[in-house]
Amino acid sequence: MSFIAAKRAGGRSGQVMLEYAIVAGIFVAVVTILALLLFTFKEYGGRILDLLAAEFP
């Protein structure tokens, strides 16, 4: 189906690209948040392990 035929069929030719862009944006946001959480918890996890491994007299 050509672009002109798609325009005549209902004008929805840009909807797929818009949905793709929205899903890609959400995916990037979720990956960024998960990476930030992983970095944060790895940092605090190392500090907690250091405290647990500390030898007190």
What per-residue confidence (pLDDT) applies to 21? 96
| 3-class secondary structure, 51 | helix
36 pLDDT more than 90? yes
Q: With bands split at pLDDT 50, 70 and 90, how would you rate the model's confidence at 50? A: confident
Whole-number Å distance between alpha carbons of 16 and 26: 15
- Indicate left, alpha or beta for 48 from its phi (over 0: left) and psi (-120 to 50: alpha): alpha
52 pLDDT more than 70? yes
Nearest CA-CA partner of 15 in 7, 25, 26: 7
Provide the whole-model pTM: 0.58
42 lies in which domain range? 3-53
Express each pLDDT in 19-31 by its tens digit.
Answer: 999 999 999 999 9
CB-CB contact of 13 with 3 (8 Å) = yes
More confident residue, 2 or 36: 36
- When divided into structural domains, the chain yields a total of 1
